[in-house]
Chains A and B, each alone.
Chain A
Amino acid sequence: EPEVTQTPSHQVTQMGQEVILRCVPISNHLYFYWYRQILGQKVEFLVSFYNNEISEKSEIFDDQFSVERPDGSNFTLKIRSTKLEDSAMYFCASKVARLNEKLFFGSGTQLSVL
């Protein structure tokens, strides 16, 4: 079965630094998502992306966050100035169609902000 791939698997950064988390969604998928999971808490929706623009975003996804699909295959999440509370597992996901479709998740990037 095809997979969503995420790199790196672990990222450590200093508070205030910019980080870019990378994802390669499944090739024929059109809808892309970022989720995060703070340790011990639930999986939280951050943003969805379709047709090169944001479809929906949560309250968590403030001006410090941005997403981009720079080259037709990668899907990136950028955090401009990381805070301690950004430490979490970040999951990328994709699906082929909008409704009633299975969401495929990547294995996640563990971000640690020191």
Chain B
Amino acid sequence: AQRVTQPEKLLSVFKGAPVELKCNYSYSGSPELFWYVQYSRQRLQLLLRHISRESIKGFTADLNKGETSFHLKKPFAQEEDSAMYYCALSNQAGTALIFGKGTTLSVSS
């Protein structure tokens, strides 16, 4: 069965500190993984996807098939990074995107 696990409900860090938001997945095929972000009072929006191997707003995420993980990392957190972050897994047909429970990132000065 498809499942996305984000073990941390809340992650609080100081500005300038490194950030790692954990995501583990369970999927029998080749996964397509995404990170979505929801800033306060804004809609859910795509942050990055593993297929692009991109860095957005300083965030990166590497797919580790051995550990079935797709952790989101940023070396130096900024206050504007404070938001809810969702890891998501798409089924192979692309017909459903399954979300984890989300992690609230709080960056304080």
A binding-site residues for B, Cβ under 8 Å: 31, 33, 35, 41-45, 48, 50, 55-56, 58, 91, 93, 97-108
- B102→A108 contact, CB < 8 A: no
B44 on the interface (CB 8 Å rule)? yes
Please tell me which one of the listed residues B90, B93, B98 contacts residue A55 in the complex, with CB atoms under 8 A apart.
Answer: B93
B binding-site residues for A, Cβ under 8 Å: 32, 34, 36, 42-46, 49, 51, 86, 90-91, 93-102
Question: Can you list 16 A-B pairs with a CB-CB distance of less than 8 A?
Answer: A31-B95, A41-B101, A42-B86, A42-B102, A43-B44, A43-B102, A48-B95, A48-B96, A50-B95, A55-B95, A97-B94, A98-B94, A99-B90, A100-B94, A104-B45, A108-B43
User: In the docked arrangement, what's the CA distance between A93 and B99, Å?
Assistant: 14
- A98→B44 contact, CB < 8 A: no
- What B residues does A31 contact at CB under 8 A? 94-95
Please tell me which one of the listed residues A35, A42, A56 contacts residue B95 in the complex, with CB atoms under 8 A apart.
Answer: A56
- What A residues does B49 contact at CB under 8 A? 100, 102
Q: A11 → chain B, closest Cβ, in Å?
A: 18
User: In the docked arrangement, what's the CA distance between A64 and B47, Å?
Assistant: 33
- What A residues does B99 contact at CB under 8 A? 35, 42-45
Please tell me which one of the listed residues A45, A93, A98, A108 contacts residue B98 in the complex, with CB atoms under 8 A apart.
Answer: A45
CB closest chain-A residue, reference B94: A98
Please tell me which one of the listed residues A55, A97, A105 contacts residue B45 in the complex, with CB atoms under 8 A apart.
Answer: A105
User: In the docked arrangement, what's the CA distance between A100 and B99, Å?
Assistant: 15
